[in-house]
Chains A and B, each alone.
Chain A
Amino acid sequence: MNHATKTLYGLGAEFSSAAGLLEAAKKIYAHGFKKWDVYSPFPIHGMDHAMGFKRSRVSLFSLIGGFTGLTTGFVLIYYTSALNYPLIVQGKPYFALEPSLPIFFELTILLTAFGTVLGLLLLTLLPRLHHPVFNWDRFQRATDDGFFLVLEVTDPKFDPTASRQLLQGMGGTHITEIYQDPEEDPHPVRAEGIA
């Protein structure tokens, strides 16, 4: 492959176990790296703590969703039953808190859930169809039995040789340079096909 036309994305290393990956993540975090990630076939307990994750901001989206739902519920009920079409049913008031509460509750919950999912998608930049790590052959095993750590080249701490030695020192194997997709069409039409 001609790497000269491609830009480097990062440096990947494979680890033999979840525990090895966890230890490596702790050390990478201690070294002060900012742009890096780990990949494993299953969630590893304590990994978020090892990677130094702060409190997620998803709950803010949940809160906004919840308030939107509550407001929608109130406006919906009050406008339809007390303003637009007031009708006495069973001698109950046009608007009463008792029958409204389940609807407030349901709409609050529903829009909280929507807000949470939407916030999650926004914060994780999903859905995303492709990622440079897929250019690494061994990475297929991330959904089977492979544990991977990738340091990104844009991290200020990144240094091609020092970072490679660091990953090797932590027990990383198959240390590989991962390249971005080339700018040109990744699937060029073969010349003989045209002819």
Chain B
Amino acid sequence: MGKFLARRLLNYVVLIFLATSFAYVLAATNLAPRDYFEQMQPPPDPELVNAQLDRLNLNDQTPLAERYVTWMGGALTGDFGQTIQGGSVTDQMLMKAGVTLRLIVVATLIGSFMGIAIGAYAAIRQYRAFDKAATGASFFVLSIPTVVIAIVIQVGAAAFNDFIGFQFFRYSGEYTAGIQGEWWELLINRVYHAILPTLVLALALFAAFARYQRNMMLDVLGSDFVRTAMAKGLTRRKALFKHALRTAMIPTITYFTFTFGMLVSGATFTEKIYAWHGMGAWLIDSIARQDVHVVAAVSWFMAVTIMLASFLSDILYAWLDPRVRV
């Protein structure tokens, strides 16, 4: 199993390197940092623009290969260059990564747990009221883009706040601006602000998982080994949990890897709409600012999170399916 995981890990490192390089080259050839400086008011001296671009390693007159080697050389040692305004990308990334990770991790945990539990239970209660309600709900949610879910929940929260007359739901920002107090007050404030955005992400994930898990569980429930497990005297609960659910979760784990990219995109939209200063919102703002280094760094971050999710699912897979543990 160690060898299996080590080989996967090596593969992931290579993929991350290539994806980041690809993102850098794409950003460097398609974004125009020069325009960013040239459209300033008053228009700066062309010499000055050139000097500034050179200082930031963004000058399009320098060959792309040279810029790439300089940037990648830094990135490999943890220095992702400078933002177009001159700040350190790495420093800002450390601050913003936490925001995004918090959102993604909590939403993944809630969404996948709820999805798997409800999907599996719906399969056990096939064609009963619970199954019909759960399947219908997840089908409906899957038909709504994350962007629309985010806006609708935000608008709903605003309307609710108006209706009851005070700010019950918080739907903008990570915390109340200028708040001060004990650490637990700050924590509660942040958690309070996190409820709605996390809910948005978890909802979309829940729908996908519930639907998939139900189908997988139905496949397994009819199979011989579950009947055998019950026939040899296991209680129904034990047979369902230890034999059916465990087997039915294996394909879901693989499915998780595929949906994680969608989740990261969904986090981008959610951050932007709920005014969180995370990686996704940073990416969208940076594209408008023609900031090549930030775009490449965010791509690196996203590739790393997606690969981490894949690695995690590899481990879970090996844990659930003894056959790969050789």
Tell me, yes or no, whether A binds B.
no
